[in-house]
């Protein structure tokens, strides 16, 4: 090989090695990338994406279970810089909320709710909080009526003594 070819391959090798090293530093050490995840959403107060099970699917997690709570999931999309995500395990620590962030204080944090434009992108439908409340009355009313019944029984036994 002549001298020009050796210089060319040496420069080419240095550029490739430098590119790999810079990418490794940016991704593995600095964690300079954005993570996007689907997180739980409150359909009573927020405009959420609606995921519904696939009755024809046999894949675990996509197939219907027959339990409405597991067959429909309301979610939002959270985007957060990887360097700001805490290193904790949500399965072991109930206070670990890795995708919870405040968009007003974190520049690379964004919570995306469902709208007419992004529902097409996600290939799902949006919920309407008002309609959801009409179709799913609050369970608190039922709990209060049960407490009243229990409380009345307790009062009557107190009166008998």
**Confidence check: pLDDT of 109 > 60:** yes
- Of 75, 78, 83, the closest CA to residue 31 belongs to 83
Domain boundaries, the chain: 1-30, 34-137
- The Cβ-side half-sphere exposure at 9, using a 13 Å CA radius, reads 5
Give me the mean pLDDT over the 18-26 stretch.
96
Residue 140, pLDDT score: 55
Residue range 52-108, pLDDT digits in tens:
888 888 887 778 887 777 788 899 999 999 988 888 888 888 888 888 887 777 887
Report the C-alpha gap between 108 and 80 in whole angstroms: 6
Question: How far apart are alpha carbons 41 and 76 in whole angstroms?
Answer: 6
């Amino acid at each position: 090989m002549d001298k020009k070819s050796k210089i060319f391959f040496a420069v080419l090798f240095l550029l490739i090695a430098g590119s790999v090293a810079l990418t490794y530093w940016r991704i593995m050490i600095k964690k300079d990338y954005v993570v996007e995840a689907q997180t739980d959403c409150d359909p009573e107060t927020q405009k959420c994406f609606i995921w519904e099970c696939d009755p024809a699917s046999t894949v675990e997690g996509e197939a219907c279970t027959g339990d409405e709570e597991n067959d429909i999931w309301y979610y939002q999309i959270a985007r957060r810089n990887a360097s700001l995500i805490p290193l904790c395990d949500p399965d072991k620590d109930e206070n670990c909320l890795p995708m919870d962030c405040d968009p007003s204080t974190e520049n690379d944090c964004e919570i995306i709710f469902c709208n007419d434009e992004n529902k097409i992108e996600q290939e799902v439908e949006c919920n309407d909080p008002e309609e959801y409340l009409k179709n799913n009355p609050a369970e608190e009313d039922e709990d209060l009526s049960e407490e009243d019944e229990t409380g009345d029984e307790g009062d009557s036994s107190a009166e008998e003594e």
